[in-house]
């Protein structure tokens, strides 16, 4: 049994996001999720009890961190009396709509499966992840996936063609629950065409992908907030859209060099700006 495991826990963006309905307990969604090469480093060591230490002093450590819940759910599911010392080095911007906390949680569950040699398969790991949060199961495999239902019905899709993203965290994040409540008060809106996006990904056509990157939460933001989309397109992005419920906006570029050129222009106006590329996994050792 390995005493410790360290994983790169990758972030994600929503290539699109549609809210398709509402039950008594949750909203139903259709969205295409894409893992990207921004990552936190998650180290998990065997210990007598669960502890979490996070490098970002603005984020909780201990029981308040989602990584603690992930470890607890793992031990409950595996029926193991054990503990874990969890250390998280943050690189994924927090409260940005990029799934950093969910990715950390999935990495903790995977690392515990390794260090405790429980040999749980992906379906079992995703069952544990679902108990922690609806966004967490995606990160077990990452890459490109269609997510439906409450976000936990996952269908793998082909990898994106060569491309790059420029992500700008534009302001502060509202709670996801608040954003769903505000969405419920909207009238008729145009919904993203998820089927068209999936078809474009399956055909490997990045230009058609760009035409179908839409997010219904953009209906809750004003033109001043969304003006960054236009600036990304003016600087070479094939399209620009919101990730998750915000506040990050990404531009999709044909290649990394074009994205770098755009960053050189936009970094004078926006402080929180990152270039990244798609990855075909959720985490790596």
Catalytic center residues: 12, 135
Q: 53 forms bridges with which residues in the sheet?
A: 87
Q: How far apart are CA 52 and CA 59, in angstroms?
A: 11
Q: Peptide bond before 156: cis, by omega within 30 degrees of 0?
A: no
The pair of three-digit structure tokens given for residue 70, joined into one six-digit string: 């992930």
Q: Are residues 263 and 275 in contact, defined by beta-carbon separation less than 8 angstroms?
A: yes
């Amino acid at each position: 049994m390995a005493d410790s495991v360290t994983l790169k826990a990758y972030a994600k963006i929503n290539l699109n996001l549609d809210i398709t309905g509402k039950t008594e307990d949750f909203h139903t969604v259709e969205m295409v999720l894409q893992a990207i090469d921004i990552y936190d480093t998650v180290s998990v060591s065997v210990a007598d009890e669960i502890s979490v230490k996070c490098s970002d002093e603005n984020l909780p450590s201990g029981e308040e961190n989602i990584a603690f819940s992930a470890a607890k759910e793992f031990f409950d599911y595996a029926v193991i009396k054990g503990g874990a010392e969890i250390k998280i080095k943050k690189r994924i911007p927090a409260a940005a709509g990029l799934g950093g906390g969910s990715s950390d949680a999935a990495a903790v569950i995977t690392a515990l499966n390794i260090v405790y040699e429980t040999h749980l398969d992906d379906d079992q790991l995703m069952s544990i992840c679902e108990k922690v949060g609806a966004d967490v199961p995606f990160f077990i495999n990452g890459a490109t996936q269609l997510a439906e239902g409450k976000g936990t019905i996952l269908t793998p899709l082909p990898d994106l063609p060569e491309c790059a993203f420029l992500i700008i965290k534009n302001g502060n994040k509202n709670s996801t629950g608040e954003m769903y409540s505000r969405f419920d008060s909207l009238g008729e809106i145009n919904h993203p065409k998820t089927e068209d996006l999936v078809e474009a990904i399956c055909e490997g056509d990045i230009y058609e992908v760009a035409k179908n990157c839409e997010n219904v939460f953009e209906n809750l933001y004003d033109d001043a907030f969304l003006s960054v989309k236009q600036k990304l397109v003016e600087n070479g992005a094939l399209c620009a859209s919101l990730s998750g419920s915000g506040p990050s906006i990404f531009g999709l570029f044909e290649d990394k060099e074009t994205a770098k050129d755009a960053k050189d222009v936009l970094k004078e106006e926006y402080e929180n700006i990152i270039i990244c590329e798609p990855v075909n996994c959720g985490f790596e050792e």
